[in-house]
Amino acid sequence: MKVSSQEINNMENNEQGFFSLWSKAIDLDSARLFLNGNFPDDLLFNRVSASYSKQDYNGLVDEALTYFQKAKINPTFFIAEHHRKLEQDLLKKSFKHETSFNIMKLKKSVPFPDKIAEVSIADEENIAVWILTYMKSFDIGESFKIEVSKRAKKCLETKDCILYTARVGGEPVGTSLTYFEANTAGFYCIGTIPKFRGIGIASQMLEIAIRDARKQSDLLCLQNLEIDNVKSFYEKRGFETVFVKKVYQR
C-alpha cells in the first residue's frame, strides 16, 4: 500500500499522542521518550520512539540512557528500518533486536456479519467496568489497578478518546479505545477476556470502532508488536502494514 510522508507523520503523531496519556512524554531532539515507573516492565510505556522522518540521531542513545538510568527502567528503543546509523549505535552499546512494531493502515473495511456482543460507549458512570474488563482482557494484575484507573480516566477526560465495552448477556467481555489526533483515528486497547476469545467479539468491536471513526477521520490505523502474533488478525480485517519499527533492548 502506498502511503504519503504526511500520513506516516500523522500515524506516528497519533500513536505518540495516545501513549502520552499513559506515560510521561519527554521530547528529545529527534525522538520522544516515554516513561511510566508504575508500568516498569511494559516496553510500550517505557521506550524511545525515534522520529520516522528525522535523519540526525547523533547523541540520542546516550541522552536517552540518562533518563532510563535515573528512572531505573530497562532501556528500549523503537527505530524505523531505515535508521541504519542509529541501529549501529545501539548495537555498539550491546542492544539487541528483540521484536518489531507494526504500524498498520486500514485499506478496506471487512464486515463481520454475526452480532455476538452488545457494544456500548463507556462514560463516567461505567468507566470502572471498562477498567476492570481491560485488566482482565490483558491479564493485568490487581496491583496495577490504581495506575490503570488513573490513565483510563485521563483518556475519558480528554474528549479525544472513545472507549468501548463489549457485553455478552450483560457480562462485560471486551474493550477497545479509539484515539483521535492529527486527522487520524488510532485503535488501541482491543482485547477480550480469555473465556470469550475466538468467537468474533474483537472483530465486532473493531468493526463498530471503524464505523464510528469514519465520521471524523479518513486515516484509520493501529499498531501491534510482532511478538503478540496478532498481525494476521488485523490483516484479515482489512489492515495492511505500511511501516515497521524495530524494537531494541539490552
Residue 86 belongs to some domain of the structure: yes
- Do 143 and 101 share a structural domain? no
pTM (predicted TM-score) = 0.96
- Do 123 and 96 share a structural domain? no
- Do 99 and 136 share a structural domain? no
Residue 233 belongs to some domain of the structure: no
C-alpha cell at 154: 485521563
What pLDDT sits at residue 55? Answer: 81
Enclosing domain of residue 199: 118-224
Residue 172 contacts residue 134 (beta carbons within 8 Å): no
Residue 77 belongs to some domain of the structure: yes
Residue 51's contacts (CB-CB under 8 Å, 6 or more residues apart) are: 12, 30, 31, 32
- Do 124 and 36 share a structural domain? no
Task: Identify the CATH number of the domain in which residue 142 sits.
Answer: 3.40.630.30
What pLDDT sits at residue 113? Answer: 66
Over its length of 250 residues, how does the chain's per-residue pLDDT go in tens digits?
778 999 999 999 999 999 999 999 999 989 999 999 999 999 999 999 999 998 889 999 999 999 999 999 999 999 999 999 999 999 999 999 999 999 999 998 887 767 899 999 999 999 999 999 999 999 999 999 999 999 999 999 998 999 999 999 999 999 999 999 989 999 999 999 999 999 999 999 999 999 999 999 999 999 999 999 999 999 999 999 999 999 999 9
Residue 236 belongs to some domain of the structure: no
Residue 157 belongs to some domain of the structure: yes
Residue 64 belongs to some domain of the structure: yes
- The domain total for the chain is 2
Closest CA to 109 of 9, 216, 203: 203
- Do 128 and 78 share a structural domain? no
**Which domain-ending residue is among 84, 106, 128?**
106
Residue 241 belongs to some domain of the structure: no
- Do 89 and 69 share a structural domain? yes
- Do 215 and 146 share a structural domain? yes
- Do 129 and 100 share a structural domain? no
- Do 97 and 153 share a structural domain? no
- Do 95 and 192 share a structural domain? no
DSSP 143-174: GGHHHHHHHHHHHHHHSSEEEEEEEETTEEEE
**Which domain-ending residue is among 62, 82, 106?**
106
Phi, psi torsion values for 108, nearest 5 degrees = -150, 145
Residue 111 belongs to some domain of the structure: no
